[in-house]
Amino acid sequence: MDYVGRFYLSSLLHMTFYSGFYLIYLRSIDLTDGQIGFLIGLSLVLVALLEVPTGIVADKISKKASVLLSKLLLVPGTLLLYLAHSFTGVLIATLLNSLAVAFLTGAETGWLYELLSRDGREGEYPKVYGRLRSFEMVGGFVGAVGGGFIAHSLGMRSAVLLSAPFALLSALILATVPADTARSGTSYGRHLLESLCFVRNSPEVLWLFLYANLIGLPLTAFTSFMQLYFYGVIASVMAISWISAGYTLISGISWYVDFGEKGRAVICRWSPVLIPSLTLLAGLNGYLGFLTLVLGSLFFAQAFKEWQRRFQRAIPDEKRATIGSFYSLFTATLNGGLNALAGWLYGRVGIVEGLVLLSLGFLLLGAGTALKKDI
């Protein structure tokens, strides 16, 4: 199995068996809703704050080491979550798991792109990236479904505990992959300053930051609230659970399917119009939401794979993880703002009506962009 196959296998085995009942598990150890909300918010803030510092470490020391450290940190984080009987134990586990996420962001894709580029295979990157995400989602789906059976048969704590060896196995597989070689030879502060200047002075990179969110935010406005949306169409908790599970599979398939370079380029160019048009349809008719879910996932996956190709090509190897972390921080901030705005709007006028308004706004923003020759 070549190193690309090992990336796929590692992503597939990265299973979190407690993801489907995490909040229920926290309640079972007597955490209050206020404490649970605090932990969720803290995790998001920590990942955002740690994105850039961990990206710099990956560029200066090793992207491979950063990814392996991310996987290995999940082992004590999971064990602490298993042993936790109070807020303090879960808090420490949250700190470790948030740090693990931050070390992975930007480093994994940067490492993979550098290896492909070194072998003259950078043209394969969009397809490889999409399949990496596909295997990751399949692993997430299997973990959530399998975790439910484990929790039912052996208890929730057993499902938490069984997640640890899979994180370790995922790390061991990636340990056999060749290391990246590009390193930043400057100091921490100078590397940070140079990376900031590179982004500021690169119109292409700045535009790519904005463009990724232009194609992603309309779908986020729909999928972030899709459980409430579909509950208004089919008032059944069981049906909503199956729709949520189905969405994971649809996303996994969408990332795996590849339309080729020309197909991806066309969809990427027109996605600022295609995706908000689909969310607009969902706002006009509840049952069209299913079409939006399927086609929206498919179009976004194709567009983002092409975006990834252009983004990775536009940044130097020795700054890849840091600039990738800048992008993640930028996107997380915009997504958080959009979800807050959407939640307020949906609360005022209803999800369906609010979705129509947001879709029209994104259509206006995207119409002029799609007419450009290139992103």
User: What pLDDT was estimated at residue 372?
Assistant: 61
Is the pLDDT confidence value at 81 over 70?
yes
Most confidently predicted of 19-23, 184-188, 322-326: 322-326
Is the pLDDT confidence value at 20 over 90?
no
For 52-62, how does the pLDDT look when each residue is reduced to its tens digit (9 = 90+)?
888 888 888 89
> pLDDT above 90 covers what percent of the chain?
48
Residue carrying structure tokens 């994105």: 51
Is the pLDDT confidence value at 370 over 80?
no
Angle of CA points 79, 83, 85, to nearest 5°: 145
Is the pLDDT confidence value at 7 over 90?
yes
- Top pLDDT among 83 and 142 is at 83
DSSP symbols for 30-72: T--HHHHHHHHHHHHHHHHHHHHHHHHHHHHT-HHHHHHHHHH
Closest C-alpha to 359, from 249, 260, 287, 284: 284
The confidence band for 12, taking pLDDT boundaries of 50, 70 and 90, is very high
Length of the chain: 375
For 23-52, what is the mean pLDDT? 83
Query: Mind listing the domains of the chain with CATH numbers?
Result: 3-177 (1.20.1250.20), 191-370 (1.20.1250)
Closest C-alpha to 342, from 208, 226, 211: 226
For 341-360, how does the pLDDT look when each residue is reduced to its tens digit (9 = 90+)?
888 888 888 888 999 999 99
Mean of the per-residue pLDDT values of the chain: 88
User: What pLDDT was estimated at residue 47?
Assistant: 84
Closest C-alpha to 179, from 10, 8, 299, 65: 65
For residue 148, give both structure tokens: 């439910």
Spatial CB neighbours of 351, under 8 Å, sequence gap ≥ 6: 225, 228, 229, 232
Sign of the alpha-carbon torsion through 190, 315, 105, 216: positive
Distance separating alpha carbons of residues 33 and 216, to the nearest angstrom: 30
Stretch (H or E) spanning 164? helix 156-175
User: What pLDDT was estimated at residue 26?
Assistant: 86
Whether 297 contacts 250, CB under 8 Å: yes
For 120-131, how does the pLDDT look when each residue is reduced to its tens digit (9 = 90+)?
998 899 999 999
Spatial CB neighbours of 153, under 8 Å, sequence gap ≥ 6: none
For 157-185, what is the mean pLDDT? 92
For 215-233, what is the mean pLDDT? 85
C-alpha to C-alpha distances, 357 to 284, 354, 361, nearest whole angstrom: 11, 5, 6
User: pTM surpassing 0.75?
Assistant: yes
For 328-346, what is the mean pLDDT? 86
The confidence band for 371, taking pLDDT boundaries of 50, 70 and 90, is low
For 164-193, what is the mean pLDDT? 90
